[in-house]
Structure 1
Amino acid sequence: MVDFSEFFRGIKKMPERPVKIGIFGNFGIGNFGNEATLEAMLNFLKRGAAEFELTCICTDPKRVQIEHGISAIPLNRAGPSLVRKLTNISYAIQTMRMLDLLIIPGTGILNDYCSPPFGMPYTLFRWCLAAKVSGAKIAFVSIGAGPLHHPLTRWFVKLAASMAGYRSYRNRFSKDYLKGLGLNTENDPVYPDLAFALPAPAPSNPQSAGTEPLKVCIGAMHYQGWRGHLEADAKIYENYLGKLKEFALWLLDRNNSVRLVMGDERDEKAVADLRRAILAERPSLLEGRLIAEPSRSREDVMRQMNDADVVISTRFHSIVFALMLGKPTVSIGYSDYHAELMEVLGLGAFCQHSDDFRVETLITQFTELASNRSRYEAQIRERVRSAREALADQEKLFSSNFIGSCVGRQ
């Protein structure tokens, strides 16, 4: 059992007013995984006994207010570069003086995917520093960390994480990565990704084992490498999409149907490009054999996946959503997070890296899953159940030992 006594010591007890909580993150940008994480954290807090007032500190507060029904403010204030940096420090401190607790929930916010040092890494550091100097507590809950390629990014992230009184990780890789930066993570627990606690729609009735044709979901991503728009390389995207096209054609030529799904609103381009490339080679494809509908939420994605027999996907949370539905899944991921997730769910043999995956291997992986769907479905559901139970344990511990003690400051 982790000892949190030092963390809770000195917190003033003022039960006469609710705990004021800020939830920090890259929310409101149309990334369904991020929004699922926020939704899960809100549900987490609402199930607790403590009274609280929430403010989301996020990228697009207007959208968060509309979609989640909570108060929200921006991460940064606008203005000339130098002035903005100075005023944003003051803005963060003024805000944190009105809050008791800053929670950074889930997501891969402690990595540098498509982010320079003075993007999200610095912004997170600034808000954690503001919380620290204001006397507010800081908690990282089921967070993802690493990799970090720039020395300044590593410095910002290490300092931000070191200011937290509570840290848990969504995988062992994240914990070990921060340990490698010199952070003491010995007493930090590892729990599943927060999204596993969300409700999932009732499972559909997929084809029975050995029945053909099959319905296959392919989660396409506008993937341009880890550095993405910072060091955009069109060849990475073209190569990635070309291989997905080759695999989709293989499926269609064997009378299977294919549904293309998004994991982020920015993936609409990838889905459209992939659909166009497939139809260019199979122009007489019958209606219904290739489906590509837009998605605007986590619920949309899960509804589309629910009809599938097998899922192949790239985005981390799209894989999580498929697993929550009990779908046999192949990961074509871009980080060690993906590989560890698949290993924990008993699917370690069904994982490739998006930079260099082989279509021949993908066909072999798909064939194995398709041929033994019932066995893999039962295994996945059992391990998802275990993930939900572990998250319930974290919720109980966090609510009783932390939220219940973290009461308002004068």
Structure 2
Amino acid sequence: MKKIFICGYYGFDNLGDEAILRSLIEGIRRQAPEAELTVLSATRHQTEEEYGVKAISRNDYRALVHAMKTQDVIVFGGGSLLQDVTSSRSILYYLGLMFLAKMHGKPLMMVAQGIGPIRKSVFRKMTHWIFRTAKHISVRDHISLEELAKMGIDRNRIVLTTDPVWGFDAIPVIKNLGNNHVRIEQPLTKGGERSIVLSLRPWGNSEEMEKKWIELVNRLQGDLQVRVELLSFHQAQDAPLAKKIAGQTGCEWMAHTPSVETVLERIGAADLLIGVRLHSLIFSAIMATPMIGLSYDPKVDAFMESMKGGPVYAVESFSVDEVVELARQRMDDQAFHLKLKKQSEKLCAQAKADQKMIIQELLHE
């Protein structure tokens, strides 16, 4: 029986990373139901209960060392694990785990990684040293591929794939939505039951950004006569801001952590998503809901470019007028919706094929 240790940013109430984990677990179980899965988690018991796996706490170093000795293969699954923009602690932690696995002679599978930005030369050198002997390297976008190539990793060893979330089975959610999943083709009318989902995150000058979010929500509700719902993809980071915005504008907000299925359903029933978080935009594309991207990271720009999603606004400097006007246009742009649906179906199919190939490689390691 293959013992697989899956490492990532799991157990933090971050919907995007939990969707990555769910997709990886389901993919492995489809091909190797007998595999013994262990997951690195910030909330061990919650992860064990939710996914039916063994879990190891992130700060249980004795258990981590034991896992590196006894597991057959170590998987680093998706997400932006290797970047030093937010802090140096996170990248040091993951590089340390990779180093530990390497020291115990365990095969490393780097699956659908989002690499960078990595600014410090010491971290770039460490990343090169670890990745040059990894058994598998796949990245989720061209930016990550170029970043690794600049560090001296052979391009021929790097597989360009999609984010693992594209492999998530959304068909039951779409069926549950029924007719609500069909985009409204009529133009905006005052009082119509149309809705916009807004996924935000704290950024920059918090006081100035709060004022801007409040202005945006008020304008969407007032000018476009739509219902606005705030979704927090990372509860610890996003929920306090969402609560403030909802209190000031009267828009809707989910105070608890929703499931991946619930979020997909909410986004699928909406007419538009305005998103800062990368996975809010991916969820929107999966559900064929038109989106507007507000970028805080090159990964958001890369995704919107891959979807041919039109203009991307910097989150710290976007114009409320421009976003409201684009929202007005995009909700009724049937050509954009059809193009989005076609591209989404293509990427979902690619993700499932890539995932099958990667897991087969993992199981035969």
TM-score, normalised relative to structure 1 = 0.80
Distance 1:238 1:150, change over 3 A: farther
* Equivalent residue for 2:290, pick from 328, 340, 343: 328
What is the alpha-carbon distance in structure 2 between the residues aligned to residue 91 and residue 23 of structure 1? 14
Kept in 2, the 8 Å contact 1:316–1:338? The answer is yes
- Match in the other structure for 1:360: 321
- Match in the other structure for 2:73: 101
Pair 1:268 & 2:229 matched: no
- Match in the other structure for 2:103: 133
1:77-96 map, 5 Å: 77=60, 88=61, 92-96=64-68
Single out whichever of 64-73 and 184-193 deviates more from structure 2: 184-193
Deviations along 1:379-404, one digit per CA (max 9) or x if unpaired, are 1121111112212221232233x234
Kept in 2, the 8 Å contact 1:327–1:377? The answer is yes
Pair 1:167 & 2:137 matched: yes
1:6-405 map, 5 Å: 18-49=1-32, 51-77=34-60, 88=61, 92-116=64-88, 119-200=89-170, 201-202=173-174, 203=177, 204=180, 205-212=182-189, 213=192, 214-221=194-201, 223-225=202-204, 235=205, 237-254=206-223, 255-266=225-236, 267-279=238-250, 290-296=251-257, 297-347=259-309, 349-372=310-333, 374-400=334-360, 402-405=361-364
SS of the residue 2:21 aligns to: helix
Letter in 2 for 1:304: R
Deviations along 1:333-376, one digit per CA (max 9) or x if unpaired, are 211111111111121x231121221212212321221231x222
Distance 1:97 1:299, change over 3 A: same
Kept in 1, the 8 Å contact 2:56–2:63? The answer is no
What is the alpha-carbon distance in structure 2 between the residues aligned to residue 313 and residue 295 of structure 1? 19
Kept in 2, the 8 Å contact 1:128–1:163? The answer is no
What is the alpha-carbon distance in structure 2 between the residues aligned to residue 199 and residue 246 of structure 1? 36
Kept in 1, the 8 Å contact 2:246–2:253? The answer is yes
Q: CA deviation at 1:245?
A: 1.7
SS of the residue 1:38 aligns to: helix
Kept in 1, the 8 Å contact 2:286–2:348? The answer is no
Q: CA deviation at 1:187?
A: 2.7
Kept in 2, the 8 Å contact 1:129–1:163? The answer is no
Distance 1:404 1:217, change over 3 A: closer
Q: CA deviation at 1:299?
A: 2.3
Q: CA deviation at 1:50?
A: 7.1
Deviations along 1:255-303, one digit per CA (max 9) or x if unpaired, are 2221111111121111111112325xxxxxxxxxx32222413223223
SS of the residue 2:144 aligns to: helix
Aligned residues: 352
Distance 1:395 1:209, change over 3 A: same
Single out whichever of 163-172 and 202-211 deviates more from structure 2: 202-211
Deviations along 1:216-259, one digit per CA (max 9) or x if unpaired, are 111122x134xxxxxxxxx2x22333222212211222322211
TM-score, normalised relative to structure 2 = 0.90
Larger Rg: 1
Letter in 2 for 1:382: K
Distance 1:121 1:156, change over 3 A: farther
Q: CA deviation at 1:161?
A: 2.7
Q: Any gaps of 5 or more consecutive residues in structure 2?
A: none
What is the alpha-carbon distance in structure 2 between the residues aligned to residue 99 and residue 330 of structure 1? 42
Q: CA deviation at 1:133?
A: 2.3
What is the alpha-carbon distance in structure 1 between the residues aligned to residue 121 and residue 212 of structure 2? 34
- Match in the other structure for 1:283: none
What is the alpha-carbon distance in structure 2 between the residues aligned to residue 69 and residue 262 of structure 1? 25
Q: CA deviation at 1:150?
A: 3.2
Distance 1:393 1:302, change over 3 A: closer
Q: Any gaps of 5 or more consecutive residues in structure 1?
A: 1-17, 78-87, 226-234, 280-289
Q: CA deviation at 1:94?
A: 3.1
What is the alpha-carbon distance in structure 1 between the residues aligned to residue 295 and residue 255 of structure 2? 21
Q: CA deviation at 1:104?
A: 0.7
What is the alpha-carbon distance in structure 2 between the residues aligned to residue 61 and residue 120 of structure 1? 19
Kept in 2, the 8 Å contact 1:25–1:59? The answer is no
Q: CA deviation at 1:184?
A: 2.5
Q: Which has the higher contact order (CA 8 A, sep 6+)?
A: 1
